[in-house]
Every structure is written in structure tokens, then in C-alpha cells.
Amino acid sequence: MNAMGRQGQRSGAPAAHHQRQHSDNFLDSSSSNGRWLQSAGLQHLHSSSNPSIPPPKDYGYYGGGQGSRMYKNSQRNVNGGSEFFTEPSTPPVNPLSVSRRKNSQDLESPNGFSPGLLDLHSFDTELLPEVSVPGLCDAPSFYLSARGRSFDDSETYFVNNKQTGRVRAAAPENNVLKSFAADKDKASNVAKIKVVVRKRPLNKKELTKNEEDIITIEPHSGSLAVHETKLKVDLTEYVENHEFVFDAVLNEEVSNDEVYRETVEPIVPIIFQRTKATCFAYGQTGSGKTYTMKPLPLKASRDILRLMHHTYRNQGFQLFFSFFEIYGGKLFDLLSDRKKLCMREDGKQQVCIVGLQEYKVSDVETIKELIERGNASRSTGTTGANEESSRSHAILQLAVKRLADGGETKPPRVVGKLSFIDLAGSERGADTTDNDKQTRMEGAEINKSLLALKECIRALDNDQGHIPFRGSKLTEVLRDSFVGDSRTVMISCISPNAGSCEHTLNTLRYADRVKSLSKGNNSKKDILSSTLNLKESTTIPLSGMTYEDDIADSWPENTDQEEFDDSEEFQEPEKPLWKKNGKVEAYEISNSEDKMRRTNGQTKWKDPPKFETKNSHADDDMNALLKEEEDLVNAHRKLVEETMDIVREEMSLLVEADQPGNELDNYVSRLNVILSQKAAGILKLQNRLAHFQRCLKQHNVLVSSSGY
Ligand SMILES: Nc1ncnc2c1ncn2[C@@H]1O[C@H](COP(=O)(O)OP(=O)(O)OP(=O)(O)O)[C@@H](O)[C@H]1O
């Protein structure tokens, strides 16, 4: 049945009344009721939290008929599917069309890659003096009012087209230069975390199946609604509206250029100011993560190079490129024949990826080539929802480095870093069409890392002293995104079709949790990060490492930062990968850091602690427990939602019971159904709770140490 038909059937009251009702409730989302429900992750129930208010029955949501389903359907017909997937500004590389494993010979051939240099402490920016910004005061002040606003600003930083939700695309060529020069303080005011949602258009398959678009986007207010069709106990349908507000919401018409301008462009200038920034896409398989992420690094590189060649000309800045993936809990270099990599922390708990090949790049063409090579090496497969699905988390890093005073004789030091992370689909483990063992294992691993990411976010959100970054390789890599002088942009990708409703709601709830991180006091999180460093320095080695890895890597005995800060330690040249005109062209980050320290007669690495195996089991246990907890909370939330529905049903039953001539039989049988439903729901949750309690008991030691 089409939306119009259903709407006609459902509407018991004039549509105008409902429209007002919804938008009032929505606008009232800051009320205590709204906050109360939001705090329980049930904000979507706000509009119907008062059982005396009839349930929402139509989509007349944002007023003026624009948010109605009728409107959306007609919009869809205009798009008709012919525009679908026509826009990639960077044509997607088909990994299957390119040989998956490039040999290193091929990769290292000197075809334009400029010299690269070793950087052991690739995340260490402490020793660098602050970058002076030439011409800062000359900045045209009009620019600030037009573009380059910080994420915190209450006004949108670009102008939206009110009809289409399209972001105005009229940016001047050198806007990054201008926005950077505009105001250094403004740039450093860019919010620590920005959460953006992007909705993709319905695809051909969904259109063929006549699937409904259930997402309404209101770009001006950053709000979005998911219209979920549900069944009452008497099997009649009704629609529940779930409302969310984010830093920005981008509808299906927004181009990749516009996505870039909204997400990454504002953070590019501050990479030159000792900032580590991360942009990642999150969402179910086939929701558009890769499509969204793919063009961003190239656009960012272009802007970074422009800054280097203009604003910072002759100031010793260099751009380095690396690309790796996390697959099955292990790291692989996508630019080096999928060489296995190893992650390590230095004395300051800074992450260092040993063996990762970095390329010094100075032109966009080379970067494009590297991106294509990396993408071709990615692990992909087919899921029910996406024929070319990413099975891994891919991490592409652009590091801005600067030559030290000694010029080319010393390795340049990192000034800032921009990381792009294309996460694997958020529900891969639950994909029912994935039934071979390998795929299931991949799914489990992906879920583990996404769960760990969520737990880190939750821990930061709840001001917990311990942030479980070690829960997965992904969170270890991402750690820098959340602590210290860092910026994070999360792009939540959602599918519009009704069949994806549950996954979409999960993605949006996840995004909502990340968003709440940015609400609080940032300094609070910085304090947290120092607590974290203290705690982490005394905890166990990286989970998921093999025993061999552990023996080879060992662990820092001494975390005295001063000793590790000594830049003289970095003079030993790294293993050159290839040479051009007698100059080293590319280097790999190796474990010579260990050797240096040992040969200095000051061994700072010790044998693996004896309790290591036990602790890596403990990590697994903790992950399992976290998963149990997650499931319990979700089940509880679901029961509350169902209870609300049942209460509504009861209210109308009572109203009917009071009507003259009401049939007692009908009342009795419906009440019976309602009560059985309630009892079944409670019983199910009780069983789950009992199971969780048993798990807690089983892992008693863990429970006390992880603060349960
Ligand atoms: N905004 C969009 N506009 C047009 N086409 C899109 C958009 N987003 C995604 N697509 C298309 O949808 C399909 C799936 O997208 P994509 O591969 O990016 O999904 P994904 O989230 O990365 O999936 P997975 O997690 O399985 O890797 C692709 O064919 C892509 O071109």
C-alpha cells in the first residue's frame, strides 16, 4: 500500500492538528520531558510520551507539507532513479578490476613519488615550535562572516538552499587559504567533535521494490526524522517518528564537494597548527561510507598543498601519505603489498605504526595514484546489501611535517595529521546472507571494533576514568582523535529505505552518543586524557597481538617522557626502500627505535609481562561482557518502547470501554492480549538480565576492575 493510502487510513484526526502536534513536540525537544527521554536513548518517544495524546498517524512533520510522505514520494519520482549514483566527483575505483596485490617493486618504482623520510614518533608534535602564520592580520575579515566559521558557531557556516537542502557551492578557488588566514584563533576554535549525517538516495533495487523513503531531513535546523512503521497489538499500522538533531544533516542531493566543505575543509588549516584530526564514516553496509570517504582525502590534499605552496612557501613543510587497513584485528599496509604492520606506543602512549610506508608527496596526481593503489588493495567482498562491501577499516593518513633546523640531515617532525577512516559496515556480523565461516569471523571482528569504539565514546561520555582504547586495534589507532589537541568529524551514513529502518536508527543513536561528547566541557576530556595516559601506561600490552609480536616488540619499562623526547635519538637512518638520484625516496617506519635504545646501553624495553596471556583473555572477556551489557540495555530500551505502545493501546481500550454499548467480550479479549504481551516482554527481559548477572558473577575479578 502506498503512503497516501496508508495515511488516509490512519488519520483519525485532521492532518493539520497532527502536523502542529509533531512540530510542537519536536521544537520542544529541550523540555525536561525531552531531555529525560533523551537521556535514556528514547528521545524518539518524546512526541508520544503523554499517553493521553493520540499516537502520530501521519508524516506532516515539518509543516508546509514539505516533510510529508506525499511530498517525499513526489520528490522521489522527480529523481526517478535516473539521477541515482551519477555524481561521484572522484570515480570509484573498482577494486576487482585492478590486481589486488601489487608487488612492492611496482609500488616503489620512482614514478614521481618524492623523497620520504622516517618519522618514528609519527604522532609526536611536542617538540615543534608553534607555526607562525604569515599575513595573519591581513586577512580579509569579510571571509569570517561568510565562510570558515568554526563548528561551534550558532549560525551555519555555509548557506543552505532552503528548498533543496543543498549547501551553496559557490566557494572561491583559494578559500582554504583565505579561511586560514582569516583568524588563527577562529581556526583553533573548530569544535573537537562534529557529527554529520548523510542520507543516500534510494538505489535501483530499492526503487524497483517500491521501497519507501522513510527519512525526512531539515537541513536548516540540523534535524532529521525517521518514520518507522509499527504494528499495534490489533495488527493495525501506525507510524512512529524518531527525531534527531546533529551538527549538520545532508540529504540525498548533497554532492561530495559539499560534503567536503561541510566536514573536512574547516579542519585543514589547523593541521598546520599541531592538530591531529580524524574524519570517519560510520553506518550499515551499503549506506555510502566508501562513496562519501573516497573523495575527501584528495580534496584535502589539494587544499593542504595549496597552503604549503602559497601561505607556507619555503617554510620547510612537507606532506606525507600513508594508507593501511585493519582487517581481522591486524594491520596491513595498502601501499606495500599488504605487508603486515605492527602498532606500538611510545613512552608517551603515542601510537606508532611500525613498518608503515610513508610517501612524501607534492602534487595531487601522485596522491590520486596512491589512493587508487591503496583502494585496489583493500579487502572487499559481497554482502546482501552491497556488492562491493568493505570488509576492513581503511585508514588513510596525510601528515604535515616540517624540516628541523638541521635541514634535510634530520628527519622532519610531524606538525599535524589528518586521518580518514572508512569503517566497515556497522552491522556486518548480523548480515544473515554471510554464512561462510570466514565472513562470519570478519563480521565478528568488525563488530568487536565498532563496539569498542562505542565503548570508548561512552566511557568518555560518562566521564569514566578508564577509557578502553585497547579494546581493539581500531580504537587504539583512533585514540588520538579523542584526546589531546584533536578534532574528529564523524559522518554517519544512512540508507533511506524502510527495510533499513532498524539499522538506520542504530546508526543515528550511535551518532547521537558521539555528538553528546562534543556538548560537554572539552577541558574535561583533556583531563580525562591525562588520566587515561596514566592508567594506560600501567596496563597490559595491545590485545590481539600475537605472542610473536609481543616478544618482538616488548614493552616500555620506563615511561619517563623526557627520555623519549630526546630528538637526538632519531638520527639513526631508517631502512631506505628505494633511491632516486642518490637520495632516499621512501622510508618505512621500523622498529629501530628499540634497537637504538638498546644499543645506547639503556634498554628501555623489557620482556613481556608474565600475566600477558591472562590479560589478553581478560580483554576478550571484557569485550564479551560489554557486548552482553549492550544487548541488555538495547533489549530494555526496546521493552520500554513496546510498553509505551501498549500503554497507548490500553488508553484507547479504556476510552472505548467507557463508551455506551461497548462490547464486553471485545474488551476482555483485548485486555487479555495486552496483559499477555506485557508479561511476555517482562519475562524475556528478566531472562536476559539473569543471564547478564550470571556473566558478571563468572567474571568477578574483571567486574570489580572494570568498574561494574
Ligand atoms: N550519496 C550517494 N549518492 C549516490 N550514490 C551513492 C551514495 N552513497 C552511496 N552510493 C552508492 O551506494 C552503493 C553503496 O555505497 P558504499 O559502497 O559507499 O557503501 P558502504 O557503506 O561503504 O558499504 P560497506 O560497508 O559494505 O563497504 C555504491 O554503489 C555507491 O556508489
What digits encode the pLDDT tens for the residues 3-49? Answer: 333 333 333 333 333 333 333 343 344 444 555 555 555 655 554 44
Q: Report pLDDT for 623.
A: 62
Among 82, 249, 257, 290, name the best residue to mutate to test ligand 1's pocket (greatest count of ligand atoms within 8 A of Cβ).
290
pLDDT tens-digit readout, 202-223: 999 999 999 999 999 999 999 9
For the CA of 387, the nearest atom of ligand 1: 26
What are the sequence ranges of the domains in the chain? 253-495, 621-706
Check whether 285 is labelled as a binding-site residue.
yes
The lowest-confidence range among 247-251, 446-450, 520-524, 657-661 is 520-524
For residue 493 and ligand 1, the question of a CB distance below 6 A is answered with yes
The residue with cell 541488555 is: 632
* Residue 606: pLDDT over 90: no
Nearest CA residue ID for atom 15, ligand 1: 288
Kindly state if the Cβ of 383 falls inside 6 Å of ligand 1.
yes
CA-closest candidate to residue 200, choices 50, 115, 84: 84
Say whether the ipTM exceeds 0.90. Answer: yes
The CATH number of domain 253-495 is 3.40.630.10:
no
Assign 3-class secondary structure to 433-464: CCCCHHHHHHHHHHHHHHHHHHHHHHHHHCCC
| Dist CA 242 CA 222 (whole Å) | 14
Check: CB of residue 327 under 8 Å from CB of residue 392: yes
- Per-residue pLDDT tens digits for 636-694: 888 888 888 888 888 888 888 888 887 888 888 889 889 988 888 898 898 888 888 77
Contacts 24+ apart (CB under 8 A), 463-466: 463/524, 463/528, 464/707, 465/528, 465/531, 465/535, 465/707, 466/532, 466/535, 466/706, 466/707
Higher pLDDT, 682 or 1: 682
Mean pLDDT of 452-471: 71
User: What integer pLDDT is reported at residue 347 of this predicted model?
Assistant: 72
Say yes or no: CB of residue 492 within 6 Å of ligand 1. Answer: no
Task: Determine the pLDDT at residue 239.
Answer: 94
